[in-house]
DNA sequence: CTTCGTTCCGTGCACTGTACGGAAAACCGT
DNA sequence: ACGGTTTTCCGTACAGTGCACGGAACGAAG
């Protein structure tokens, strides 16, 4: 009795080789490995041992895949739960940065497309409600949230491009020196302590974040 | 006497049809008209009424063109001269935003590549010296500058993607409503005053900017 | 077994960036 | 005026892209 209920799996009456999930997972892996430039539908299909056009049963276009992959990795950010607004936001944003470092292609994509996926809006709500609880509302609330996410995005974007310029296959030290000298020549000693010098991005990140948070704090109602 | 000194132009003994400048100008125009996705070397060459491969006498790759076009439009930002640090920065950043609105492809490109062109570093120096004069230095100075440029980039990027989603050929109002409702459903009334509702980006921009500047102000030495 | 909807995918098309090598033109020394 | 060199121009070609189309293979239902 092979078709007995005990041997069937009614959760998935159809069991296609491909699924949207499998595609998205593979897309994230491919983007991690090759970057946006190295990403192609053919390479994605190859990774899944499938024909290229099979993918199009599950997604409408390459753009779709980008949107899905983006929301997928945004899902890796676990929403912070409770705590004072400031610590909560620091935790949340630190995690965001970690995710974007793990998936360096994220800032490039977020710059082009609106983030409307379920995970994105869920994370966004964390910011809104944290700051609303703290006492913000209206346009100020929107400005605060926007500023915070702009900050993470911008910071990690420049962090990534810095590693990219330095991590080029050859000439690790040579290029590093070249760029540093280039900047030194033109910006002068003002940027002496720029990331360029030491790559201490962790400290810089928290420093800038504190700055923004201080700005937000001035907008909070007294108490 | 056609070769008389009065009819010659000794400034340019060689006078090629193409020049790097002409290419860059055309590239900016093409990017303005078609966006990053619609930009191609063939289209660029066509705009210059030249063969595609002629371009490669003057630039090494498409990436080069992007870098040059980027620095070109950054040059449109006229460096603010004097004045109290805060007004100066507001002026400078407002101008940056205007330029990025005029050339909506800028945020997408800055997210990927380091800004090392002459105009970019010149503008960057304006920020550094303004804040240095105000009393910042070291890592705090770097953090402040980074935060400010992240803010403009991020703000305009989301501003642009918003216009893109809404300005889609068909269904101006329909899509607008769809997205608004989508966000309303998930983020709830917290974002009621989001850009989504009214598109009053100017006010929002200044609001967020003030927030960041307040944060910076807390780092200034007393006096 | 037939029918029908789903899944898979080979082929083809228009288009991309750019390597290569040759034609044409502009310059220079005689 | 003429040969040689260098600079400018670009046609062709190649490997790659996203995806439209239409057919094959398969599973479930009648």
Quick check: A219 pLDDT over 90? yes
Strand D positions closer than 7 A to protein CB: 7-12, 16-22, 27-29
Statement: the CB of A37 is under 7 Å from strand D? no
Hits for CB < 7 Å against strand C across A residues 3-22: 14, 16-18
Place B3 in a pLDDT band, splitting at 50, 70 and 90.
very low
Cβ pairs A/B, distance under 8 A: 186
What distance in Å separates the CA atoms of residue A208 and residue B147, rounded to the nearest whole number?
6
DSSP A190: G
- The answer to whether the beta carbon of residue B175 comes closer than 7 angstroms to any atom of strand D is no
- Short-list A126, A117, A124, A113, CA closest to A73: A117
pLDDT per residue as tens digits for the range A10-35: 555 567 789 999 999 999 999 999 99
Residue A98 has pLDDT above 80, yes or no: yes
Quick check: A215 CB within 7 A of strand C? no
Nearest C-alpha neighbor of B195 from the set A156, A204, A124, A28? A124
CA angle, residues B72, B77, B78, in degrees to nearest 5:
120
Find where tokens 């002629």 sit: B54
Opening angle at CA A18, ends A15 and A24, nearest 5: 130
Q: Is the pLDDT of residue A43 over 80?
A: yes
Nearest CA in chain B to A114: B161
Determine whether the interchain pair A146/B158 forms a contact, defined as Cβ–Cβ distance below 8 Å: yes
Give me the domains of chain B, ranges plus CATH numbers.
Answer: 20-73 (1.10.10.60), 79-217 (1.10.357.10)
A contacts of B118 (beta carbons < 8 Å): 186
Closest-CA residue in chain A for B157? A111
Q: Is the CB of A47 under 7 A from strand C?
A: no
Most confident segment among A76-90, B41-55, B190-204: B41-55
Is the Cβ atom of B39 within 7 Å of strand C at any atom? yes
- Name which residue leads in pLDDT, B130 or B1: B130
Residue from B208, B123, B35 nearest A149 by CA: B208
- Please give the structure tokens belonging to residue A32: 């991690």
- CA-nearest residue of chain A to B203? A139
User: Which protein residue has its CA closest to C1' of C7?
Assistant: A16
User: Cα B111–B112–B116 angle (5° rounding)?
Assistant: 95
pLDDT band, very low/low/confident/very high, at B2 (cuts 50, 70, 90): very low
Distance CA(B202)–CA(B223), nearest Å, equals 31
């Amino acid at each position: 009795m092979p078709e007995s209920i005990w041997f069937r799996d009614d959760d998935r009456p159809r069991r296609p080789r491909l699924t949207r999930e499998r595609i998205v997972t593979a897309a994230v892996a491919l983007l991690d490995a090759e970057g946006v430039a190295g990403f192609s539908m053919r390479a994605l299909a190859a990774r899944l041992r499938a024909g290229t056009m099979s993918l199009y049963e599950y997604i409408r276009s390459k753009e779709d895949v980008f949107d899905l992959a983006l929301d997928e990795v945004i899902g890796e950010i676990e929403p912070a739960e409770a705590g004072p607004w400031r610590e909560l936001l620091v935790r949340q944003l630190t995690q965001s940065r970690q995710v974007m470092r793990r998936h360096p292609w994220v800032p490039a994509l977020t710059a082009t497309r609106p983030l409307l996926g379920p995970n994105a809006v869920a994370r966004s709500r964390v910011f809104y409600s944290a700051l609303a609880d703290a006492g913000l509302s209206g346009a100020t609330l929107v400005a605060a949230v926007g500023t915070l996410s702009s900050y993470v995005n911008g910071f990690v974007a420049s962090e990534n491009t810095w590693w990219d310029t330095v991590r080029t296959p050859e000439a690790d030290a040579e290029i590093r020196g070249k760029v540093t000298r280039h900047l030194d020549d033109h910006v002068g000693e003002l940027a002496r302590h720029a990331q360029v010098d030491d790559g201490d991005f962790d400290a810089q990140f928290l420093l800038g974040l504190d700055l923004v948070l201080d700005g937000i704090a001035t907008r909070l109602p007294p108490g």
